Structure 1
């Protein structure tokens, strides 16, 4: 009689594969109950329970009580002892730094204003000091910081960490930003465009969840787009994909920072919008403009609505080319809500062929002003070997369970 029996080697391989599936699911979603883990991985609840206990004992995951559909449950997250990552966002007028854990939870953050056209050395110095300050605030050592993601308001060649279009950030050209920042903190640094990282965050955690093809429009002091195709960021050859702020909308218009004439940024940038209301409203900030618009000021509402229409006409060209499932709108101007998004949506639909089967959705982002820094944290997590290397996880668990795994039947 022949008995079909798994060999010890195959049992060990199956156990390791199941552990990796569970850790991958927790890393992807930031935290799941055991029932959700079973639904996501296809493993039985008994197997999930057994492996979660092993991973908890090995210090790979943490568990805490929660509720699901009104019932008690146990939520599983990656253990903080695996380390922290930092996200840095350089805006045109501000600097934001956040620390996050492997559960994608921000454990500390700080923001400070920056002068327009701030110097690169000053900006990088301040970012490094804020990272160190936040580590001290949460009682963590520099050794616990694994990777730093940096978001810049400029197209970035991710292979070099350099800005790929001269003049967009004055004084930042010809500098290997990632390498320079890495020397300051002695940690790996990954640099990308802020719209790309906003797209990444909204896709993983916000309004883009469940959509494989999406465009994130960042309407702010300037305008850009992040593009995801088949669930992956599309950056282009040298990082200039999605630079919709430099699409020409007025052949006789003003000269743009990029050197061309009549770019979208020359008519919907914060400078251009505030110029439109200066004679009637005096000197306003972008925040003032948005606040007054949401409070019902007709002039401010008109300025933002017209900006939405101009941006939507350009986004329609992207939609016609890529046919995404959804367009997610973020950036500072998105705080105006439907005042901006409504006209933008109408312009997209007006300038694209009517799709009766699957019309594109145009929605407001869910992460608000946190999108870009959350994207920087997500980029850092994705590039951190501890988070992605199954062999590292296998070593952690096998060292802690070397004796126990020989005595416990494989799930």
Structure 2
């Protein structure tokens, strides 16, 4: 059936369009919404009244308009008209947060992560329940969506964790289990790097950029890809799994069994182990943490220079390959590398002097806005996007 023939669908699309404009512009009048949406004044007013009745939109006062003293009522999204839940699963910690409709974190809950099918599902349920109990104004019927970010290969279409070595699950239909625990609540499961990339695109360093790549260089290596404002996850969600690209045939054996994976060069546990081995060989104290290692590199300890020169070279190769292959507007970097001003300065300088087929360096490399909480913000932001740009307004 053509869209024009489906009045209910048209109403949902128009409602979502109004919500999206209000969300992106914060405050608008009915006249401004009429102009932006190209809908009739009668249609806009009718939909606004319904949204006000459903507590999703509120009137916040008068706005002076062009003309002789003309005034109009300003409207905005009612931030407490609904909530979304974000859940981030990483190597050690489960973090759960409630976000209001203005994208503000209302409350947060953290616990040591448990792995395996049943422990993981039960812990997510317990975390969401505990988190919602911390918010006095939260009502069960105000939960408009649950977004979950997880490490590993996530089939976002099938909403299944295909494989996650960190969570110790394979072909795990987490969505089915959680849907039974939270009936009638939209649930989305997304790869953690993709979630973090979306957070940067939605309201972070890459806001308003249509194409960007998020690189996580930490204990593990991963990439999140935004193409034309949407997450690109590839077949079965495997896009961005770059940590096990072999870059050094003479390198160390990776936990995956291959030799010289990107993770063995840039992953923080491998970097720390490498420095410890060399420190023992030359008779200096081994750094006990990445914070200590970076402080000593910043202080100019000579023996660390060749180690970090190799890291810099591999980072350059990774970033150059990303730029040449995907042509993003920006590459956003998160992880231990951001904590070294010296290393980031060298990396930025190498980008500035490189010859790309277009001017990439105008934006170039940018540090991530949300740090280690990127995946948490992204999992919730994905649900906000669904509310404000899709027909999920039940």
TM-score of the superposed pair, with normalisation by structure 2: 0.77
SS in 2 for 1:245: coil
* Counterpart in the other structure of 2:90: 91
* Counterpart in the other structure of 1:406: none
* Counterpart in the other structure of 2:288: 284
1:217-273 deviations in Å (ceiling 9; x for gaps) = 112211111111122211111211122212211013223233322110011112112
RMSD in angstroms over aligned alpha carbons?
A: 4.0
* Counterpart in the other structure of 2:316: 312
**1:369–1:56 Cα change, 3 Å:** same
On the 8 A contact 1:308/1:342 being kept in 2, the answer is: no
| Distance in 2, Cα, partners of 1:170 & 1:145 | 26
SS in 1 for 2:108: strand
* Counterpart in the other structure of 2:3: none
SS in 2 for 1:298: coil
CA-CA distance at 1:200 after TM superposition: 0.6
1:260 aligns with 2:258: yes
| Distance in 2, Cα, partners of 1:270 & 1:196 | 21
1:316-345 deviations in Å (ceiling 9; x for gaps) = 112111111111112x32541644433433
On the 8 A contact 1:86/1:131 being kept in 2, the answer is: yes
Task: Mark the runs of 5 or more structure 1 residues left unpaired by the alignment.
Answer: 1-12, 68-72, 394-411
| Distance in 2, Cα, partners of 1:241 & 1:262 | 20
Match of 1:171 among 144, 160, 168: 168
Aligned residues: 366
Task: Mark the runs of 5 or more structure 2 residues left unpaired by the alignment.
Answer: 1-8, 64-72
**1:170–1:101 Cα change, 3 Å:** closer
Moved more, 173-182 or 192-201: 173-182
1:38 aligns with 2:26: no
Matches within 5 A, 1:7-406: 20-27=16-23, 29=24, 32-34=26-28, 38=32, 42=36, 54=49, 55-64=51-60, 76-81=76-81, 83-114=82-113, 118-139=115-136, 140-165=138-163, 168-169=165-166, 171-186=168-183, 187-278=185-276, 279=279, 280-282=284-286, 284-286=288-290, 289=293, 292=295, 296-299=298-301, 307-330=311-334, 332-333=335-336, 335-336=338-339, 338-348=341-351, 353=356, 355-356=358-359, 361-383=364-386, 388-389=390-391, 392=393
SS in 1 for 2:358: coil
**1:66–1:129 Cα change, 3 Å:** farther
| Distance in 2, Cα, partners of 1:16 & 1:176 | 30
CA-CA distance at 1:36 after TM superposition: 12
On the 8 A contact 1:293/1:336 being kept in 2, the answer is: no
On the 8 A contact 1:149/1:190 being kept in 2, the answer is: yes
SS in 1 for 2:264: helix
**1:266–1:183 Cα change, 3 Å:** farther
1:293-324 deviations in Å (ceiling 9; x for gaps) = 69x44359856675354223112112111111
CA-CA distance at 1:109 after TM superposition: 1.1
| Distance in 1, Cα, partners of 2:10 & 2:170 | 50
| Distance in 1, Cα, partners of 2:220 & 2:22 | 35
On the 8 A contact 1:89/1:150 being kept in 2, the answer is: yes
On the 8 A contact 2:151/2:167 being kept in 1, the answer is: no
CA-CA distance at 1:350 after TM superposition: 6.2
On the 8 A contact 2:194/2:225 being kept in 1, the answer is: yes
SS in 1 for 2:243: helix
CA-CA distance at 1:281 after TM superposition: 4.9
